[in-house]
Each structure stands twice: as structure tokens, then as C-alpha cells.
Structure 1
């Protein structure tokens, strides 16, 4: 029996400032590329250009439709302040009523 649980896509990225996070979150929702974007303050540890880094960042967790995820990623890449932005996409199972809401917000 096929799985009929609705799926949504979750696209995650990070930025260095709250202002950039708010700008990207608002823009993605306004463009109807994401139904919802959650913004979280995080600490990141990584190596960039050969040096160990520790920075405060803002994580954006964007909920969208699987078929809209490539367009959302392209938009984020074009708007993103980082030279190499983190753009991660995963598919999640969602409750039907939430998935329907995401469809209404993104697909109209």
C-alpha cells in the first residue's frame, strides 16, 4: 500500500545578522516561495579559508512544497550575503492539515 502521508520540503540556510535573516524570511514568504520561515539564533563553529571560526549566526528554516524548493533555493542564493551559502533541503512528512496550509500559501 503506497504511503499517502503528505510531504513538505524544509530548506535551511544561515546568515550573520538578524537584519539579513528578517529580510530573507520576509522576502521568501512575500514571494510565496515559503509558507513559513522560522528564524533562530545559533552559534556556528567551522573552518573558512584555513582558519577555525566561531560566530553567532541566524538559522532560517523555510517550509515549502517539494516542487517549489529549487525555486526557493535559487532565490535565496541570489539574495544571500554569503559567498558560499548553506542551502540544505530535506523532505519531511507532515500532518494533512499543515501540508494543506503550506500548499495554500505557496501554490495559492
Structure 2
């Protein structure tokens, strides 16, 4: 499973990524440099640069990962989009070993 979230700075992205891996909630977190986001917040259309985190985990860890983001994410309403994925057997076993 992959989960995506975004933050406003590379420092926040690195902090979250390290925390997720250290807590064994993610086997790997990839940081995508800058994404331009256009969204509505509190009735206003906003444009901001964000860093996207792609988090590799297991479905069994999704609730704990969400709770971690709720506690440590700098946004009031953090993005949490979880998608099932198909991985190679070897990669899937590696993820299991890292987050089990």
C-alpha cells in the first residue's frame, strides 16, 4: 500500500519521513521535490508549493500511520490518501520485514 501526504517545506517532509521509518510505520518514504498545489481553504483559493511524501507501508499499519500523521503533521487537516498497490514479491517481503 502507498499513502501520500503533502507538507509545505522540505524540512517538515524529512522530519515526517524519518519519524515514520523510525516508528516502523513505513519501509520507505520518497520525497518529491516541489509540487504546485491549488486548493480551497476557508473559502479562499490558495496556491502553494508543497513537498509530496509517498509512503510505502502495509494495510495493517494504515490506522497507526494515520494516527502518527494526525499527531505530527504540521497541517490542521493533513492529506491522507491510501492506495492499494501491487509490488514484486521481493519488494513486498522487504516492506513486510520493515514495518512488521
Classify the TM-score, shorter chain.
over 0.9
Distance 1:73 1:61 in 2: 14
Distance 2:38 2:73 in 1: 20
Q: How does 1:53-92 map to 2 (within 5 A)?
A: 53-92=46-85
Larger Rg: 1
1:35 aligned onto 2:3: no
Q: What do you get for the CA RMSD once the two structures are aligned? A: 0.7
Structure 1: gaps of 5 or more residues: 1-8
Runs of 4 or more consecutive aligned structure 1 residues displaced over 4 Å after TM superposition: none
Q: 1:37–1:60: 8 Å Cα contact kept in structure 2?
A: yes
Q: Quote the residue 2:12 is aligned against.
A: 20
Q: Displacement, 1:69?
A: 1.2
Structure 2: gaps of 5 or more residues: none
Question: TM-score, with normalisation over the residues of structure 1?
Answer: 0.89
Question: TM-score, with normalisation over the residues of structure 2?
Answer: 0.96
Count of residues in Structure 1 that have an aligned counterpart in Structure 2: 99
